[in-house]
A and B are shown apart, each in its own frame.
Chain A
Amino acid sequence: MLLEITAIIRRDKVAPTMRALEAIGLGSMTITTVSGRGLQGGNVMTDIDREVPAEYESVSKITRHLTPASFALVHSLTRPVFWIPKRMLQIVIPSAMKDEVIDLIMSTNRTGWMGDGKIFVSPLEESLRIRTGERGLASI
């Protein structure tokens, strides 16, 4: 059984996380540069319970018909969308190691401030090493 762990973490925590994972024998991972927003909507200064104005809906209705004019409209009418730079790590692990890996990622990445990130665990059907053709557990 294989699991895929997708962890979205702070940029400066990539190296510590990699080192911690190497120590338990998981050297391989995929790192992607992503931008993210959490429940605060990318707003680093506000509270979670910030109210979301309802007028965005009508704005998106106006701009559904894309013309140069409406395109200009959207860029002046809507408020900018804030994104926070993040790194996404994708690790494929045998399901027996799940708790160990999650505890490790959480303890390495926890600062206690908003923006520490999320961990998603999803089932994976098949894994294949291209060079040798090994499948399943042998390939990771």
Chain B
Amino acid sequence: MKMIRAIVRPEKENDVVLALEAKGFPAMTKTNVFGRGKQKGIKVGPIHYDELPKVMLMIVAKDDEVATIIDVIKNAAYVGYEGDGKVFVSPVSEVYTIRTGEKAE
């Protein structure tokens, strides 16, 4: 299993979630986060913003589904400017469903 953490624009959150749901991945966790990237934030006139609001979506998926999910996120969250976000993939060794006690690897 892999955990996919996608940091996307807040205004694109709905698009990403609906696109993932249409592909059959309805389950995810969302957090509002603040961050900045390589450009060290943005400068609007004299004001420098370095804590830009973003939404982090956490999805845990089987190894062979990761490529599909990344593709869906890439297409749905795309605007074409700096600040579109990042996708991180990290390993998860076990997943338990609390209600049933079921285990998946």
Which A residues form the contact surface with B (CB < 8 A)? 3, 6-9, 32-42, 52-54, 56-57, 59-60, 63-64, 66, 71, 74-75, 78-79, 81, 83, 86, 88, 102, 105-106, 109-123
In the complex, which residues of chain A have a beta carbon less than 8 angstroms from the beta carbon of B18? Answer: 56, 59-60, 78-79, 81
CA distance A74 to B75 in the complex (A): 16
**29 pairs of residues in contact across A and B, judged by CB atoms under 8 Å:** A6-B3, A34-B29, A35-B30, A36-B27, A37-B26, A37-B27, A53-B22, A60-B18, A60-B22, A66-B11, A78-B15, A79-B18, A81-B13, A81-B14, A86-B29, A88-B31, A106-B101, A109-B98, A115-B99, A116-B98, A116-B99, A119-B96, A119-B98, A120-B94, A121-B95, A122-B3, A122-B90, A122-B91, A122-B93
Nearest CB to that of A95 among chain B residues?
B93
Q: How many A-B residue pairs have CB under 8 A?
A: 118
Provide the main secondary structure of the chain A interface: mixed
